[in-house]
Amino acid sequence: MADVPAYHSTLQTPTLELCSSPACIFWPPLYLPSYTSFGVDFYVRQCENLTQALFGVSLRPKVNVKLLEYQAKGFFDRADIPIPQERLVLSGAQARTAAQEIDLPCVLKAQVGVGGRGKAGGVKLAHTMEEVESHADAILGMEIKGERVERLLCCHAVDIKQEFYASVTTDRTNRTLLLMVSPAGGVDIEEVARSTPERILKIPVDPLLGLQAYQTRRAAMFLTQEKDIQKQLASVLAKLYKMYVANDLSLAEINPLVVTNDGKVIALDAKVIIDDNGLFRHPDFEGYRILSADEKLEQEAKGKGLSYIKLSGNVGCIVNGAGLAMATMDLIKRYGGEPANFLDVGGSSSPEKMIAAIDFVTRDRGVRSIFVNIFGGITRCDDIANGLLEATKDAPLPLPVVVRLTGTNEDEARKMLAGTSFIPAIDMADGAKKAIEAAGGR
Ligand code: GDP
Ligand code: MN
């Protein structure tokens, strides 16, 4: 397979639902060539999935779960770290009600996963009820770095005297935890690290000993000379550390941690990232995971019995069996095309599944042609043909669809599709070539 181009796909790991039969445990050796063309990484991850299914052990390092500010503030609140009075709202009218409860002035803050929302206009101060409503309406629906704002946090605004930075992370190189503080809060901490690194104090914390009182005192003294504020800061830092460890976090950050004009220390912003490796200890955290648009689509497909993973190419694939689906993608790559997706319709293929499959594939705007590649074993080809005809009965085919059907009842299937606008293919290679051509060539 030396002439097969290496394909380091950006595939997210298909989960084990991919396997429609127990025979899937034989996949790795069987499909090694196919796997290798998708990158060793992909192959390894599949083996890990198998391990998880067979032995219930997860080997896969997963992605961390980054919380939105209001969720992170919930962690702070439970850890007894002071936060401003605030409410989560979904509309301008709700913001007004919230503002009445918590009092003016209010700060309206876009709840998005991306950074830099302040600069993008996602944080606004409101002095009147009218401003609360108009700012809320302006921020809701705004796009910040490609993310649509759907939720707002309406917080009671405080008078800021000083802004600090504080965080707890894990320092993998030194195998310690790390408490970081800076009197230069409210701004991008990376910028402080670049321009004035001496304004950041880093205190390594032995995870076995935990954060010691002398360490929190030292951090507090680095931030201010005022005894009373020092005391409050030391208490917040100790709570932040405790919260970090108890919840298996990979980041707990407060920026800014402010001192108000009346001498109170309050966390105005919160950033919390949960370490996925510890998620098994916190089953209740699963709900914090906010799915990306692609992940949502994949979940929806799963609900219809389809294993669908969106990719970036223009040849949509509808295939039965995960191995065949990967081989199909390989073949498309081999002939110079780009698969738009992985899609396994599974073993038994009802017309409904075909309809759903066509629906999912065509929802991807980048798709220019579809390659239906079916091996009829348990699946009967005439069932598939029937599904295809059903799926396109009411609406004409949105795109050129190349069909390769082989195996059980293939002759019947071919007869059923004869004279329709489906483009027949003799074999897989022929189908792949025709689909690439229909998509606009290589
Ligand atoms: P970020 O820019 O996305 O990190 O949003 P933050 O919540 O950190 O807020 C950005 C800045 O807005 C803060 O550094 C403050 O200067 C300002 N800000 C946020 N909340 C308040 C508030 O209650 N009162 C005042 N005066 N300023 C605030
Ligand atoms: Mn901030």
What pairs with residue 168 in β-bridges? Answer: 179, 252
Q: Give dist(CA 333, CA 329) in Å, integer.
A: 6
Q: Please check the confidence at residue 435 and state whether its pLDDT lies above 90.
A: yes
Residues with beta carbon inside 6 Å of ligand 1?
107, 109, 117-118, 123, 155, 157-158, 160, 163, 186, 255-256, 268-269
Instruction: Name the DSSP letter for residue 139.
Output: H
What residue ranges do the domains of the chain occupy? 85-156, 160-274, 291-438
Write the CA distances from 56 to 13, 40, 195, 219, 285, integer angstroms.
17, 23, 48, 43, 20
Ligand 1 closest atom vs CA 187: 14
Q: Ligand 1 mean position to 107 CA, how many Å? A: 8
Mean pLDDT of the chain: 86
Q: Give dist(CA 75, CA 245) in Å, integer.
A: 12
Q: What pLDDT score was predicted for residue 66?
A: 86
Q: What pLDDT score was predicted for residue 114?
A: 81
Is 253 a catalytic site residue?
Answer: yes
Mean pLDDT for the stretch of residues 237-262: 97
Read off the pLDDT band of 63 (50, 70, 90): low
pLDDT above 70 coverage of the chain, percent: 84
Stated pTM of the model? 0.63
- The SS3 of residue 341 is strand
Q: Please check the confidence at residue 344 and state whether its pLDDT lies above 80.
A: yes
Mean pLDDT for the stretch of residues 315-337: 95
Mean pLDDT for the stretch of residues 312-333: 94
CB burial class (10 A; 0-12, 13-18, 19+) of residue 421? exposed
pLDDT (tens digit per residue) in 86-110: 999 999 999 999 999 999 999 999 9
Q: Crossing angle of helices 92-102/129-139, nearest 10°?
A: 140
What pairs with residue 123 in β-bridges? Answer: 109
Which of the listed residues 189, 269, 272 should we mutate to test ligand 1's pocket, taking the one with most ligand atoms within 8 A of CB?
A: 269
Q: Ligand 2 mean position to 49 CA, how many Å? A: 38
Q: Give dist(CA 254, CA 83) in Å, integer.
A: 10
Of 253, 298, 338, 410, catalytic: 253
Q: Please check the confidence at residue 57 and state whether its pLDDT lies above 50.
A: no
- The CATH class, in words, for 160-274 is alpha beta
Task: Tell me how long the chain is.
Answer: 442
CB 423 within 8 A of CB 402: yes
Read off the pLDDT band of 8 (50, 70, 90): very low
Number of H helices, E strands in the chain: 15, 19
Ligand 1 closest atom vs CA 115: 3
Cβ contacts of 311 within 8 Å, gap of 6 or more: 9, 10, 11, 329, 338, 339, 340, 341, 342
Amino acid, single-letter form, for residue 116: G
Q: Please check the confidence at residue 39 and state whether its pLDDT lies above 60.
A: no
pLDDT (tens digit per residue) in 149-199: 999 999 999 999 999 999 999 999 999 999 999 999 998 899 999 999 999
- The CATH class, in words, for 291-438 is alpha beta
Chain centroid to Cα 203, Å, comes to: 32
CB 426 within 8 A of CB 386: no
List the single range of 11-15, 142-146, 221-225 with lowest mean pLDDT. Answer: 11-15
Q: What pLDDT score was predicted for residue 157?
A: 97
Of 31, 43, 70, 165, catalytic: 165
* Nearest residue to 319 (alpha-carbon basis) of 311, 329, 333, 310: 329
CA-proximal residue: ligand 1, atom 2 (nearest): 118
Q: Give dist(CA 233, CA 258) in Å, integer.
A: 10
Ligand 1 closest atom vs CA 185: 14
List the single range of 62-66, 163-167, 415-419 with lowest mean pLDDT. Answer: 62-66
- The SS3 of residue 208 is coil
CB 296 within 8 A of CB 363: no
CB 313 within 8 A of CB 339: yes
Q: What pLDDT score was predicted for residue 46?
A: 53
Amino acid, single-letter form, for residue 323: G
Regarding predicted confidence, which is higher, 226 or 44?
226
Instruction: Name the DSSP letter for residue 47.
Output: H
In the numeric block, the tokens 């009373």 are attached to 228
Regarding predicted confidence, which is higher, 23 or 82?
82
* Nearest residue to 207 (alpha-carbon basis) of 250, 253, 245, 180: 245
List the single range of 94-98, 119-123, 314-318, 354-358 with lowest mean pLDDT. Answer: 354-358
The environment of the single-atom ion ligand 2, i.e. residues with CB closer than 5 A, is 255, 269
pLDDT (tens digit per residue) in 188-242: 899 999 999 999 999 999 999 999 999 999 999 999 999 999 999 999 999 999 9
CATH number for the region 85-156 comes to 3.30.1490.20
pLDDT (tens digit per residue) in 391-400: 888 877 879 9
Q: What pLDDT score was predicted for residue 50?
A: 54
CB 439 within 8 A of CB 314: yes
pLDDT above 90 coverage of the chain, percent: 64
Is 308 a catalytic site residue?
Answer: no
**What would the DSSP string read from start to end of 323-388?**
HHHHHHHHHHHHTT--B-EEEE--SS--HHHHHHHHHHHHHSTT--EEEEEEEESSS-HHHHHHHH
Q: Ligand 1 mean position to 327 CA, how many Å? A: 52
- The pairing of strands 401-407 and 423-424 is parallel
Regarding predicted confidence, which is higher, 25 or 153?
153
CA-proximal residue: ligand 1, atom 28 (nearest): 157
